Amino acid sequence: MPLLAVGSVALDSLETPFGRREDVLGGSASYFSVCASFFGPTRMVAVVGEDFPEEHVRYFGSRAIDLAGLVRRPGRTFRWKGRYEFDLNTAHTLDTQLNVFAEFRPELPAHYRDSEYVFLGNIDPDLQRTVLDQVRAPRFVACDTMNFWISSKREALLKTLKRVDLLFVNDAEARQLAEEHNVVKAARRILSFGPRAVVVKRGEYGALYFSGDEVFAASAYPLPAVFDPTGAGDSFAGGFMGYLARCRREDHATMRRAIVLGSVLASFTVEQFSLRSRRWSGTVRIA
């Protein structure tokens, strides 16, 4: 079943201990959609500016991503500039230029409205709900968020959480949202906010999945070389949701395989800057 993803498409400038890149393809919707596209059709909802390189649009197209919802607006594309220290676990934002993203009001093309699987990338929680309002009968909705929304739009986020099936957060976000230091207790508290599942992403250490009394821990693939962690979380979500949408099942075994596949896709992403490495030209075959 087609999977719908809303989020940012950005031009990132990155500094890591291993090098720098200027204005490379980034954004939550980019990483998510490219990773999900290995599993089946993916529909993107995002905005770019006049300066967004056509080659990136062609690249999305080459991955069979439906771009009817990718709109181009007058102005510049959303830009994010970040730096990673030696441990690569924490991003330090150096500069954020929202540009056309500031006025982003996601509108779904008519044929997107029958999407059964929906990923609400890290955008304003009020906008996340306007996307949901436009989907006729969502079967499984996953959502991402960040510290900024947890602190500045907590009530709006809690409203969104009542309508989603699964929340993706990292350790720090889980603690902040639940106001609870222990990650297991924090996840249980978040489940009481509405979602029936929570995935806590822990970077190089993997991910924890919580649903009801179930806990599933997946290790990240141990990599001898990590160049750029940008997009790892959205890649995880893309692999996870892509697999779920392809299986059209949400039983425990499918969820667990989805977590492992999310980890695999994230491991590909962090091996290089941006997207578009040789890794991304293959296909994923699943028994």
d(CA 148, CA 169): 13
The yes or no reply on residue 217 touching its own copies (CB under 8 A) is yes
Q: C-beta of 158: minimal distance to its own copies in Å? A: 23
> Residue 81 corresponds to which tokens in the numbers above?
């500039």
59 vs 221 by CB, closer to its own copies? 221
Minimum CB–partner distance for residue 227 and its own copies (Å): 11
Binding span for its own copies by CB under 8 A among 23-31, 70-78, 102-110, 184-192: 184-192
The CA distances from residue 136 to 111, 131, 245, 247, 250, in Å, are 11, 10, 16, 20, 20
Burial of 54 (0-12, 13-18, 19+ CB in 10 A): exposed
The correct pick among 219, 248, 252, 286 for binding its own copies (CB under 8 A) is 219
Residues 3-42 that bind its own copies (CB under 8 A): none
Site for its own copies contains 208 (CB under 8 A): yes
Quick one: 105 exposed, middle or buried, by C-beta within 10 A (0-12, 13-18, 19+)?
exposed
| Candidate residues 182, 249, 252, 279; the one interacting with its own copies per rule CB under 8 A | 182
First to last CA, the chain: 18
- Quote the least distance from Cβ 112 to its own copies, whole Å: 37
What is the rounded distance in angstroms from the CA atom of residue 47 to the CA atom of residue 73? 7
Q: Is residue 179 a contact residue for its own copies (CB under 8 A)?
A: no
Burial class (CB in 10 A: 0-12, 13-18, 19+), 225: exposed
As measured in angstroms, the least distance from the Cβ of 165 to its own copies is: 21
Binding residue for its own copies (CB under 8 A) from 54, 58, 86, 287?
Answer: 86
Pairing of strands 197-201, 166-170: parallel
Contact flag: residue 264 with its own copies (CB under 8 A): no
Chain positions contacting its own copies, by CB under 8 A: 86, 181-185, 188, 202, 205-206, 208, 215, 217-226
